[in-house]
Amino acid sequence: MPSIKVGTESSADIEIHYEDHGAGKPVVLIHGYPLDGNSWERQERVLLAAGYRVISYDRRGFGRSSQPTTGYDYDTFAADLNALLEHLDVKDIGLVGFSMGTGEVTRYLGTYGSGRVRKAALLGAIPPFLLLTDDNPEGVPGDVFEGIKEAIVADRYAYFDDFFSNFYNTDKLAPEKIGDAALRASFQTAAASSPFATYACVDTWLTDFRGDLPKIDVPVLVVHGTEDRILPFDNTAKRLPDLVADLQLVPVEGGPHNIAWTHPDEVNAALLEFLAD
């Protein structure tokens, strides 16, 4: 099982698990909360068929990566990504993030620059800044996130049930776009994640990316569901064209948060067209 060491906690190494398949120009896929790298299956298959080398990994605390109780902030997440890219020594990358993964893409480019990256794609974007403040009136009130943390502490598994119903908009899209088996698979992946990470990651959603976005000097694709209940379109994706120099916004009409699963044809077409030279 391929992995790299990115740190230590007490006596244990902190390792990031990754998958590296195919040949050609590399595309790096960064998953969303609370899933893992396998959640990209409907994109990986298409990208491999199109001749790309596809690299995915599990964020610390999730999937087959280590589950420490430290490092749950975007500076560390971006450092983990940088360590992986340096380990693999990949260049000319298409860097693709979903949900929380869009934060890694944004913070990585803002911190480490675009020397290894030719294009970046954000699906279900969390930037620019989710928290309501005096200088961010488009944000979401902080008590919403405190309520989420309270729900996780009270019953993490009950929280996941509620979360995924809005992650996939099951009241409107099940069973045609999201079946019971796929929903169970998402739940099982979330349940296997670190309880500490499940809670700690909520605070990371409130990261202010407004300082990173103007530093992005590669073409950016944003694909976002218009009916996203987790990261509402108007609070996130709609704001990004004014903050990034070269950005294409593709709304997915009626799409929920995880459009990569429910609307793969639209997502994959946009992604392949964008990544092509």
Which pLDDT belongs to residue 116?
98
pTM over 0.85: yes
Residue 263 is a catalytic residue: no
Cα–Cα distance for residue pair 267/260, rounded to 1 Å: 6
Give me the catalytic one of 65, 66, 99, 193.
99
Residue 228 is a catalytic residue: yes
Q: What is the mean pLDDT of the segment spanning 32-51? A: 98
CATH number of 3-275, picked from 1.10.15.40, 3.90.550.10, 3.40.50.300, 3.40.50.1820: 3.40.50.1820
The domain ranges of the chain are: 3-275
Which pLDDT belongs to residue 277?
80
pLDDT in tens, 109-137: 999 999 999 999 999 999 999 999 999 99
Give me the catalytic one of 36, 80, 212, 228.
228
Cα–Cα distance for residue pair 21/52, rounded to 1 Å: 9
> What is the overall mean pLDDT for the chain?
98
Which pLDDT belongs to residue 155?
98
Which pLDDT belongs to residue 51?
98
Residue 277 is a catalytic residue: no
Are 231 and 209 within 8 A, CB to CB?
no
pLDDT in tens, 217-228: 999 999 999 999
Q: What is the mean pLDDT of the segment spanning 71-96? A: 98
Res 86 pLDDT > 90: yes
Cα–Cα distance for residue pair 115/93, rounded to 1 Å: 9
